[in-house]
């Protein structure tokens, strides 16, 4: 990337933004020669444009055939995980997102990024200080925000230490739902890419990515689709403060994970008769842009593969009418655009499903604001459905 363009995009770099929180430069660790890092861990293939991807088949990863069982009817876990968080159902939300860009923002260490997260949460609290009672603040970062300096998997010890620190942040901001993107880590036997959800000072639940991208490295280990702490594991949907959330990661959206899981386990199920879709569908990613992306066929023909190329849009969402689709992407999809608003619009977005939409094709974009001095994207507050 030319220096002039990088300078133009500096507001999208959290280590540049971090100086605005406390007036001191953030610690930056040197990257590879030339100052750039190519991170081949989270995307479906080699770096390419959406239009390039749409014109050919994608060889999506199925490492050692260690997937899925995500839809097994004999799984005793509930379809909608019940979080411990109690309290009245919120009437509205304010969403704040961190536009963390692949690959240029991986220079800092994990501790640097955890420091940044704490600063972002302080700023999030300031933004919502005047909101009325009944507002639920949500903070969202993109895929692989919690990984090592090169975007590779953390150790299990690092992952647990990071979760402990974020729980401490959550205790300082107990009313905020904190979703710090995904945590990419490995144990002695498995590799995981998980979405942790913090609220009320504790880890509420964890979703494990089902479909790794073609270049996610597992070093001979199997791909983990069940979080080691089974008491926190959610298969796709969870209930928190009376709201129903869906979450998945990047390639899961291409493979229709939430769509198929909802249709099989919730739609028509007497236990969930009152559920008419989820209130909030959350997608952290690195390279999936539902708003503009095309869904290619998969040469593996495995579960979730499509028969023909087509635009995804929001057809894989299961947001209820009036519900929301929250998307935060770490891909470099907008880096060739010389305008920060376009970067913001393609990487951190919220869409509301229209009240009269019949087939998940009627979603309206909600404009966000890039907050001066921090680079965070702020949305709302806006009302929850119902």
Which tens digits make up the pLDDT trace of 277-302? Answer: 999 999 999 888 888 766 655 555 55
CA distance 37 to 51: 23
Q: If 0-12 CB within 10 Å is exposed, 13-18 middle and 19+ buried, where does residue 46 land?
A: exposed
At 5-27, the pLDDT tens digits run: 232 234 444 444 333 333 332 22
Instruction: Kindly indicate the confidence band of residue 173, based on its pLDDT and cuts at 50, 70 and 90.
Output: very high
In this predicted structure, what is the pLDDT of residue 70? 57
Asked if 205 contacts 233 with a C-beta cutoff of 8 angstroms, the reply is yes
β 377-383/369-370 pair status: antiparallel
CA distance 187 to 271: 36
Token pair of 150 as six digits: 């090169």
CA distance 28 to 116: 12
In this model, does residue 379 exceed pLDDT 70?
Answer: yes
CA distance 153 to 217: 8
- pTM, to two decimals: 0.82
DSSP letter at 298 equals B
Phi, psi of 168 (to 5 degrees): -65, -40
β 183-186/135-141 pair status: unpaired
Give the up-direction half-sphere exposure of residue 54: CA atoms within 13 A in the CB hemisphere: 14
> Which of 222, 330, 288, 289 minimizes the C-alpha distance to 45?
288
Instruction: Kindly indicate the confidence band of residue 216, based on its pLDDT and cuts at 50, 70 and 90.
Output: confident
Asked if 322 contacts 284 with a C-beta cutoff of 8 angstroms, the reply is no
CA distance 340 to 273: 44
In this predicted structure, what is the pLDDT of residue 104? 64
In this predicted structure, what is the pLDDT of residue 21? 37
Q: What is the mean pLDDT of residues 61-81?
A: 63
Per the model's pLDDT, the better-predicted residue between 268 and 197 turns out to be 197
Phi, psi of 96 (to 5 degrees): -125, 130
Please give the class, per CATH, of domain 3-383.
Answer: alpha beta
Would you call 76 helix, strand, or coil by DSSP?
A: coil
CA distance 83 to 106: 31
Would you call 331 helix, strand, or coil by DSSP?
A: coil
* 193: enclosing H helix or E strand: strand 190-199
């Amino acid at each position: 990337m030319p220096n002039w363009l990088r300078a133009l995009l500096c507001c999208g770099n959290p280590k540049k933004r971090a100086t605005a929180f406390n007036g001191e430069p953030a610690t930056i660790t040197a990257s590879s020669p030339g100052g750039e890092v190519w991170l081949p861990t989270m995307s479906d293939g080699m770096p390419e444009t959406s239009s390039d991807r749409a014109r050919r088949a994608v060889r999506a990863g199925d490492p050692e055939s260690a997937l899925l069982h995500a839809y097994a009817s004999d799984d005793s876990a509930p379809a909608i995980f019940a979080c411990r968080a109690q309290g009245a159902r919120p009437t509205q939300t304010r969403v704040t997102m961190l536009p963390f860009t692949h690959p240029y923002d991986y220079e800092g260490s994990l501790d640097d990024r955890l420091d940044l997260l704490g600063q972002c949460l302080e700023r999030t609290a300031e933004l919502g200080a005047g909101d009325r009672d009944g507002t639920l603040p949500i903070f969202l970062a993109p895929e692989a925000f919690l990984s090592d300096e090169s975007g590779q998997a953390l150790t299990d010890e690092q992952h647990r230490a990071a979760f402990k620190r974020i729980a401490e942040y959550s205790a300082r901001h107990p009313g905020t739902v904190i979703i710090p993107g995904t945590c990419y880590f490995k144990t002695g036997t498995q590799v995981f890419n998980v979405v942790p959800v913090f609220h009320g000072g504790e880890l509420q639940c964890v979703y494990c990515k089902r479909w790794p991208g073609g270049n996610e490295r597992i070093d001979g280990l199997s791909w983990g689709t069940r979080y080691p702490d089974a008491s926190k594991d959610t298969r796709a949907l969870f209930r928190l403060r009376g709201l129903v959330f869906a979450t998945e990661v990047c390639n899961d959206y291409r493979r229709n994970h939430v769509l198929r899981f909802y249709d099989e386990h919730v739609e028509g199920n007497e236990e969930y008769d009152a559920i008419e879709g989820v209130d909030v569908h959350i997608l952290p990613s690195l390279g999936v842009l539902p708003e503009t992306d095309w869904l290619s066929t998969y040469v593996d023909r495995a579960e979730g593969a499509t028969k023909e190329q087509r635009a995804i849009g929001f057809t894989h969402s299961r947001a209820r009418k009036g519900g929301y689709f929250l998307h935060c992407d770490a891909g470099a999809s907008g880096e060739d655009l010389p305008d920060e608003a376009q970067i913001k619009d393609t990487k951190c977005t919220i869409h509301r499903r229209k009240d009269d939409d019949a087939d998940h094709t009627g979603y309206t974009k909600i404009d966000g604001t890039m907050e001066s001095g921090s680079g965070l994207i702020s949305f709302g507050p806006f009302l929850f459905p119902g």
